[in-house]
Amino acid sequence: MGRDNFVDGRAIGDFTATWRRVEDWLRVHAPEDFAALRGPASARDIAAVAEDFPPHPFLVALLSAHDGSELSSGAELLPRYGLLPAARMAGWRAAGAGCPEAEWWVPFAATSTGEYLVVDHRQGPGYGAVLRFDPESGAGGERCWHDLLALVAELADVLESGEPLRMPGAAAHRPCAGGQLGWEIVPSPEVPAVWLREVWRDAEKRLLRAAPAACASLRPPARPQEIRSAETPDPFHAHLRAFLLLHDGADGPDGFEVFPGGYRPYGCAELCAARASVKAAVPDTAIRVRVRTGTKTAGGRESAVERAHGHGEASSSPADLPPVPTSWLPFAVSREGAELLLCQEQGESYGAVLAWDQVARDYRTVHPDLAALCERVGR
C-alpha cells in the first residue's frame, strides 16, 4: 500500500475493534498491565513522532487509544517488548543513526536491551510493515508483520487461544496469565540456534544481575570465519555455533562462574586445542553414557571407566579419566581442569552435555543439550 493510498475507514475500524480484544483480555487476565496502559496521546504528540511524513494511520490509531505503557511497569505486551510513548518515538533519530533506512522508521515498541519494533514509512509495497531493528548490532529491517493490524490481530488470537506467538527469527512464546502478562519460551528443536539465542538472553540478564563479574568475563562474538576454522573437519552442533556467535568463550577467573558447577566456556581457539587433545587420545567406542533415567551403552562390553579404574576405585584427577570418543567435544572447563563435553555424534544423544561422575565412575548426561544448560543459567 503506497502513501497516497492510505488506509480506508473500514480498516481503521477493524484495527480499533481488534485492539479492543487485546484490552479486554488484559483487563481480565493481566490487570496490572491493563492499568499500566497510558491514556490517549495528544494530537500534537502524535504529529511529532515523525518530522518529514505523516504517521501511518494504524500507528495514529494505536496512539489515539494509548500513549504507550508506563515504562516503570515492566509490561511486555509482546515477548520482551513494551509499548513506547509518543515522546520516545519522537526521539528516535539518534537511536537510528548509522542506518540510512531508519529515517523512514518510527518505533512503537522496545526491549530493555535497546531493540526496537518499527513501522516502515517508505513508499511502496512495504509501507506500514512492522520491522525489527537492533541499533547496536546494526541488524534490522527484518519484516515481522505485514502491518500493525496484522500484529494486533495475531496478538489478540494468541491471547484468547493460548497458542504461541511466532515472530520471524525468534523463538515462539506462549502467553501466561497472571497479574501481568508473561511469555513462556516454547522449545523449537527445528531451529535450535534461535532457541539458544532466546534462552541465553534471559541467562545473560540473570548473570548481569547476580554475577556481574562473570557477565563481564564473556568475550565478544567469534567471527564466522573463526568458527568455520574451529569446526574443521566436522561442523559444531547448532547450539554451540549459536553460542560462539554471541560470545567467543569467557576469560578467567570470573569466567568460571558462567556455567553452573563452576565451568568456563571455551572460545574457538580453545575448542581447536580441546578437539586435538581428544583425537590424540585412544578413544573407546564402548564407553557407557549414563542418563538420568537409566544407562545406555554404545556397545555391549564393560565400560572403559570400569576397565581403567576397577570396581570401587574412583578417579580424583581429570588426567586419570579414560579417553572419550572423538565425537565428544570438550567445550567448557572447571578450575580443577574437569571438562563439560558436547556429544557431536548423530543419534539419540546428539547435542547432549556430559560430565564425569565421580560416584558412578562413568560419564553422565547432565543436560539434554546446550540450550538447557543456558536455560539453567537463567534461573
Among 81-90, 217-226, 288-297, the minimum mean pLDDT is found in 288-297
Chain segment 51-66, per-residue pLDDT in tens: 889 999 999 999 999 9
User: Contact at 8 Å (CB) between 288 and 348?
Assistant: no
Neighbours of 142 (CB within 10 A): 14
pLDDT for residue 303 is more than 90: no
Hey, is 211 helix, strand or coil?
Answer: coil
Number of alpha carbons in the 13 Å side-chain half-sphere of residue 5: 7
Q: What is residue 2's predicted lDDT score, i.e. its pLDDT? A: 44
pLDDT for residue 12 is more than 70: yes
Q: Do domains 9-185 and 192-377 have the same CATH topology?
A: yes
User: Who's near 257: CB < 8 A, 6+ residues apart?
Assistant: 211, 213, 214, 217
What is the C-alpha separation between 19 and 13, in angstroms, rounded?
Answer: 10
pLDDT for residue 309 is more than 70: no
pLDDT for residue 68 is more than 70: yes
Q: Which fold has domain 192-377?
A: SMI1/KNR4-like (3.40.1580)
Q: What is residue 201's predicted lDDT score, i.e. its pLDDT? A: 82
CATH class of domain segment(s) 9-185: alpha beta
Chain segment 100-113, per-residue pLDDT in tens: 788 899 999 998 87
Phi, psi of 278 (to 5 degrees): -65, -45
Helical segments of 92-191, H only: 92-95, 148-161
Average pLDDT of span 222-230: 90
Q: What is residue 317's predicted lDDT score, i.e. its pLDDT? A: 53
**Cross-strand pairs, 133:** 116, 140
Among 42-56, 58-72, 148-162, 273-287, the minimum mean pLDDT is found in 273-287
Chain segment 339-374, per-residue pLDDT in tens: 999 998 888 888 999 998 777 677 889 999 998 999
More confident residue, 295 or 155: 155
Helical segments of 176-267, H only: 192-210, 212-217, 224-231, 238-244
What is the C-alpha separation between 161 and 306, in angstroms, rounded?
Answer: 53
pLDDT for residue 153 is more than 90: yes
What is the C-alpha separation between 297 and 295, in angstroms, rounded?
Answer: 7
Q: What is residue 136's predicted lDDT score, i.e. its pLDDT? A: 66
Q: Where are the beta strands (DSSP E) in the chain?
A: 82-83, 105-110, 116-120, 130-133, 140-145, 173-176, 182-185, 263-265, 288-291, 294-297, 328-334, 339-343, 353-357, 362-367
- pTM for the full model? 0.57
Exposure b/e, 56-86, CB count within 10 A at least 16 = b: bbbbbbbbbbbbbbbbeeebbbbbbbbbbbb
Q: What is residue 302's predicted lDDT score, i.e. its pLDDT? A: 33
pLDDT for residue 187 is more than 90: no
State what percent of residues in the chain have pLDDT above 90: 45
Angle 161-58-71 from CA coordinates, rounded to 5°: 75
Among 198-207, 289-298, 333-342, the minimum mean pLDDT is found in 289-298
Q: What ranges do the domains of the chain cover?
A: 9-185, 192-377
More confident residue, 34 or 290: 34
Query: What is the pLDDT confidence band of residue 193, given thresholds at 50, 70 and 90?
Result: confident
What is the C-alpha separation between 358 and 305, in angstroms, rounded?
Answer: 11
Q: What is residue 287's predicted lDDT score, i.e. its pLDDT? A: 45
Question: Residue for cell digits 500534537?
Answer: 44
Neighbours of 97 (CB within 10 A): 10
pLDDT for residue 306 is more than 60: no
Q: What is residue 257's predicted lDDT score, i.e. its pLDDT? A: 95
State what percent of residues in the chain have pLDDT above 70: 81
